[in-house]
Chain A
Amino acid sequence: MKKIVGVAALSFALILGACSSDNAGEKDDSDFPKKNLEFIAPATPGGGWDATARAIQKILKEEDIVDQSMTVINKPGGNGEVGWQYLSKKDAHTMAIDSSLLITNNLLGQSDLTYEEFTPLATLTTEWISVAVKNGSPYETATDLMEQLKKDPASIKIGIAPGLGNNDHLSFVKAAKTFGVDVTKLNFLVYESGGDVMTSLLGGHVDVATMAVSESSEQHLAGKFKIVAISADERLEELPDVPTWKEEGVDMVFPHWRGILGPPDMTEDEIAYWNEAFGEMVETDSWKELLENNGWEDFYQDSTETTEFLKEQKEMYTELIDESGLQK
């Protein structure tokens, strides 16, 4: 009996092997990519995702990293959902910008897509998220702020954008939860954009706001409001006086990352091609300049590392969203 099972298993394996080598033969991966590449920005022209996609396209071309021509196409809608839906039906000559929204859309019940269906190709950048208080605020430090929230979670108006379940929101929830605050009672005012959040903090219409460091650092340096904590693992060069959450006794690092996502079922060779291409791209001067101008940090991870990273991220977001009291 055992023997029969063994033979069956062996022949099954052979058939599988034959099938996969068939596929490989058809594709002839040695000359990937062999036609025009499509690069999806899951947003309208003019936004951050679109700008990132176009900048990457320009660098890959100008530095001769990718020979095939590459077109950026815009597929806006549903926090990236439309673009990723489109990607899920394409072949290896297509890729898209992605971010944690790929994970949170699903967890919040807004999408059926999960990252596991795709081929994560790279993580490229991160922005760190800052928490700022208005001028004249009674809370000097992040610890003061959290102590007050612990006493009365609803006593402070917190400005965020552009939606609940977003990074700016969840990073604050995570910090507060780690500190022991009842996060389901927090009072969030949700604005449409980071600019609106900034206006309302400058005008004192909210007490606290969370924003990307790139959005808030100029105002902090000009003394218009005060950043009390950032979500990075260590202090930033441009903001040497601002402590991290860790220094404030809240053990948390929270990146707002962006990466590149490939369609389902890419071959080893195709993945290797992009590992090499993006590995080369992140070393170029024009890439470094792009990061600096936008206030982004290098966060490069290749395909394998990104897959592992997304797994960790999903676990983290699942737990966070479950405990945040968000409506799904």
Chain B
Amino acid sequence: MGIDVQAILDGFLTTIQPMNLFWIALGGFLGTVVGMLPGLGPATAIALLIPITFGMEPTSALILMAAIYYGAMYGGSRSSILLNTPGDGSAIAATFDGYPMAQKGQAGQALAISAIASLIGGLIAVVGFIVLAKPLASFALRFGPAEYFLLMVFTLSAIVALAKGQMVKGFISMCIGLMISTVGIDLQTGVYRFTMGNVHLSEGIDFLVVIIGIYAVGEVLYNFLSINKPVGEKKSVGKIWITKEQWKRSKWPIIRNGPIGFLIGVLPGAGGAIASMLSYSLEKQVSKHPEEFGEGAIEGLAAPESSNNAAAVGAFIPMLAMGIPGSGTTAVILGAIVMLGLKPGPLLFENNPDMVWTFINSMFIGNLFLVILNIALVGILVKILDTPPRVLYPVIMMLAFIGTYTLGYSTVDFLILIIFGFVGLFMKMLNFPVAPLILAVIVGSDMEQNFRMSLISYPNAIGILTASPITIALVIMTIVSLGLPFLSSWLKKRKAQKNNSEAM
């Protein structure tokens, strides 16, 4: 594409037209709100807005829809941190350390760092977009069925390895998730699996219903068990700004994981959930205090937040440069802008450079706006923690049911929601990690289909593993991520033994 400074400036001038600024602000605000509500994700919000965009200038429509998308990335982590109920797949990783931080009385700081991390991740990705859109688009094409399959195996292995000391429980959790993902029509043969004659199940169980069930409903049920116990002293929400020490700890994780999230976002089909989970597990592996992860380590929140916002920006590259939607949300956006007469694809950058640059500039301004908005909201949002459970939990339940209904417009999902609410409750009581289950439900079906397709392309499993340099790298990374926890504990033991023998 070549970087044309004049074009960038022109795009900037179009972006700061009052009307476009208004769309950015409106989209960012809507995105933050729907991101916060469990189940109501950006895809639903944008789909419902499509009739409104019919009369709009295509560029403005794109600006508005994109702002909703990355706005939801900011909003999604709000409910993860405050209520332990992620609004979306990409906000799950924010529960790992964000919720513990809130419980330690650092809710304000958690909200602040996640907004800052999102901003920096987003900006890194926008710069990446400007410099690398075209080459990355063609790199993403090298991911075929074998590569996707192994990328998903790697992600699952990384998330299972996180559950240190209880890897077996992690595996069980993952296997349940994989089994759930087999429900529905099998693409390669057209055979219906485990649908029990129910039409609605033919498209499988929506992972968002599983997320809402396990987290939102499960959390409410869990708290219900202790609702009549006297409430302890009022939880402090802490300062709303981070300390120097916290910034020092999260600075590098944020900067490191921006590019990682961006690269994963560019891969069609991978998306924010995979990006944020991988970033979290990477940070835990390289951290000097891995034992603090899961107990409220600030870098454990900063890393995935930077990563998932960068992934949202990256997902626009295949959409605009190749006309390929990289995620559910970009698929909806793509459909909407096609209706308006834009033709995303390899010719878009040549035919509509002004539109592309206006869009990129809008992401710069949008991210700045969102960080201001979200930090301004911190003071109000932390009040949620003061809300008495008798008021808060019915509201969460109601939102969970509304969100679920908007996903498939079916009451069958209510039943699934309740079932997974109890699954979540039991897993919590028995201390099973839930993340492997959720991630397995998200990637399971794609992983299986990609495996089956690779078996057509390569004669056997070994052929899949060694199909390309990318697959070999992914295999090695998988082995390392599963082996590392064992290796490090073995080394520690050896060291301890050595010390012991020296002491004797």
Residues of A within 8 A of B (CB): 44-48, 50-51, 54-55, 58, 74-79, 81-82, 85, 108, 110, 157, 162-165, 187-193, 195-196, 198-200, 202-205, 214-215, 218-219, 221-222, 224, 289-290, 292-294, 326-327
Contact = CB atoms under 8 A, between A and B. Distances in A.
A165 B189 CA distance: 10
B409 A76 contact: yes
A78 B187 contact: no
Given A76-B409, A200-B144, A293 B339 contact: yes
B457 interface: yes
Interface string B384-415: 00000000000000000000000011100000
A102 B196 CA distance: 21
Contacts of A165: 190
Given A51-B339, A293-B340, A163 B187 contact: yes
A166 to B, nearest CB: 9
B448 to A, nearest CB: 12
Contacts of A196: 268-269, 324
Contact of B190 (A198, A199, A290, A326): A326
The 9 closest A-B pairs by CB, nearest first: A46-B47, A45-B47, A205-B144, A218-B345, A203-B141, A78-B199, A46-B332, A222-B346, A164-B190
Interface stretch (B48-56, B153-161, B288-296, B473-481): B48-56
Contacts of B457: 157, 189, 205
B259 to A, nearest CB: 22
- Among A189, A202, A222, the one with the most B-chain Cβ atoms within 10 Å of its Cβ is A189
Contact of A45 (B50, B54, B200): B50
B57 interface: no
A248 to B, nearest CB: 26
Given A46-B331, A77-B410, A81-B199, A164 B189 contact: yes
B46 A46 contact: yes
Interface string B170-187: 000000000000000101
Interface string B443-456: 00010010001001
Nearest to B143: A203
A271 B20 CA distance: 45
A209 to B, nearest CB: 13
Contacts of B185: 163
B409 A54 contact: no
B213 interface: no
7 contacts: A50-B50, A76-B410, A165-B190, A192-B449, A193-B331, A195-B268, A195-B324
A224 B48 contact: no
B325 A78 contact: no
Given A50-B47, A293-B340, 7 more contacts: A77-B408, A78-B202, A193-B331, A199-B141, A218-B345, A221-B347, A293-B339
B341 interface: yes
Nearest to B140: A199
Given A82-B200, A163-B185, A74 B144 contact: no
Nearest to A222: B346
Contacts of A48: 335
A189 B450 CA distance: 9
B322 A198 contact: yes
Contacts of B202: 77-79, 110
Contacts of B190: 108, 163-165, 326-327
A189 B324 contact: no
B141 A58 contact: no
A75 B176 CA distance: 30
A101 to B, nearest CB: 12
Contact of A205 (B145, B187, B449): B145
A195 B345 contact: no
Contacts of A192: 187, 446, 449
A327 B343 CA distance: 37
Nearest to B200: A77
Interface in B332-355: 332, 334-336, 338-341, 343-347
Contacts of A81: 199
A199 B268 contact: yes
B43 interface: yes
Given A45-B48, A164-B189, A189-B456, A203 B325 contact: no
